[in-house]
Structure 1
């Protein structure tokens, strides 16, 4: 059928029509495919004893997309009570990895002769470096379980280290889902968001990128000095290395640069600390300038710093900011210690 609707025609609505209609409210993975995954908080697997060959799966819900054909639609599956799963004894001398899955059988697509959902343990192949078995169509991986050589009801499985959580999560259309569990989900469209360990990420059409890149802080306790009236990135007195920070420009195109040092000046010199900004290819964007500098005017010592906004950056591009220093009086030394640069992306 080319065009379908649901709860519209007086009769003739198929189960496939209904599944496709329900999928409209779910986060998408493709034009006709909903994102697979669990409802957060359920389907937890725990061993029933410190060792043994049985584990218990707690109640929960999972959305299993039908992947036999493009227009199969998805299946909401509920496990409504604790369920015991039994794992086969281990190989005599080799370990293996088993997989715990939720699988949907629909004979209209798979020829299985049944219409049901099931919890299954797929037994892996014993090997010196075992891998988990492949997940079949119309199924969702929940866990992988390492079965040691010689495991049995008497010897058992050490559950605390054997279980690898592969649960993925889903949400309603437009919802923000946690990035966790098994095979990673690519984004379905540019502009989709997800939660990755408490940080918001955005799908740009090719990869997940942090919505707001990390703050970057660089610091050195090395002391250095100069008598030059031109800005230098390497302090020639004590031949210290340059201080620089590399960062990724956020979608807003703006960052806030904070930089400074514990500073001293001989005689009547004024000490300046500014910065040079370059692209990843080395093209200069901003040169050091007294207008963008922290300044110690006159003899003595002080901790100085300043904050300067930088905009019109290319989102996602990588830049390097490098500290630069000078004295106001040729031949008169200025000193810099405990130098730092901090880059804060602006939301």
Structure 2
């Protein structure tokens, strides 16, 4: 069946033809003619806020996709208010919804052809959920408003439900992975840049290591347990666990204790936060009656992505004589790609 292509002189495209053609400029949703709805990455437009009980939505543009109908482009050149917040329930919390709605009479037989912003109050409940628009076919969520019970605090706005879209091949910034990804698609999850290899998301962005260096030797008094270096003597390293859940930790330095044949000195680290671990033979370097100039690297896996991990250098020695030395230390903590 022949169609009218965009754009040839003398041809007149109807709305559906134009919207389907526009779909070529928007990220696919994994279907032949489908697109991903959303605002543009980095665009502060269509942001929902509260001024007392008045709901405001800033000026902005969005692409709203609808199955079988291509994409609708809607632009709001000035801020709008979809209404006033419904009063809080006496004892129960509520979640309200603010969304962008498109009316298209050729699709919904509404008698209207326009776009607007709508406020829809939810139902108060012990475990409230955001409402679903009824009688509205073409729409895109902009924000939810969490309304506590009366006297339980002020309502708060969350834009987590507002989707983001981009041009085909663009990097999509989003809290959740895009559905139906194609091989070679990139997605920025807020922490790492990910690439779909056809079966899984792999981290491809460079993950910056955290490096700290020893400034001073530990105190002269011998101690019978592993002890943290003071922050001024050797700072701890803090990283965010990547999506792989894996971190590589390397510690090294000059470790010596020649005070006697049984004199010992240890250099290692303690982990807190995403991992609980202290210095042991599994993660340290040591010397007994001798000198050791070495480093030790270990990998820790199965950590919670997004969690904070603190690695603190530790030391131990059983003498405080001139033969004891723990110096020139360096700590490297590297988040690992998945």
Say yes or no: does 1:188 pair with 2:185.
no
- 1:93-242 paired onto structure 2 within 5 Å: 93-134=91-132, 137-150=137-150, 158-159=154-155, 162-165=156-159, 166-180=161-175, 185-186=178-179, 188-205=181-198, 207-212=200-205
Shift of 1:134: 2.3
Say yes or no: does 1:43 pair with 2:58.
no
- Whether the 8 Å contact between 1:262 and 1:339 is mirrored in structure 2 is no
Cross-structure match for 1:61 = 61
What is the root-mean-square deviation in Å for CA atoms of aligned residues? 4.7
- Whether the 8 Å contact between 1:261 and 1:340 is mirrored in structure 2 is no
**What SS does the aligned partner of 1:22 have?**
helix
Say yes or no: does 1:305 pair with 2:295.
yes
Unaligned runs of at least 5 residues, structure 1 = 218-237, 239-245, 250-254, 269-293, 309-335
**What SS does the aligned partner of 2:22 have?**
helix
Cross-structure match for 2:228 = none
Unaligned runs of at least 5 residues, structure 2 = 211-224, 226-240, 262-283, 299-325
- Whether the 8 Å contact between 1:142 and 1:167 is mirrored in structure 2 is yes
Number of paired residues? 259
Cross-structure match for 2:217 = none
- Whether the 8 Å contact between 1:26 and 1:171 is mirrored in structure 2 is yes
Shift of 1:2: 6.5
Give the distance between the partners of 1:262 and 1:167, measured in 2 at CA.
54
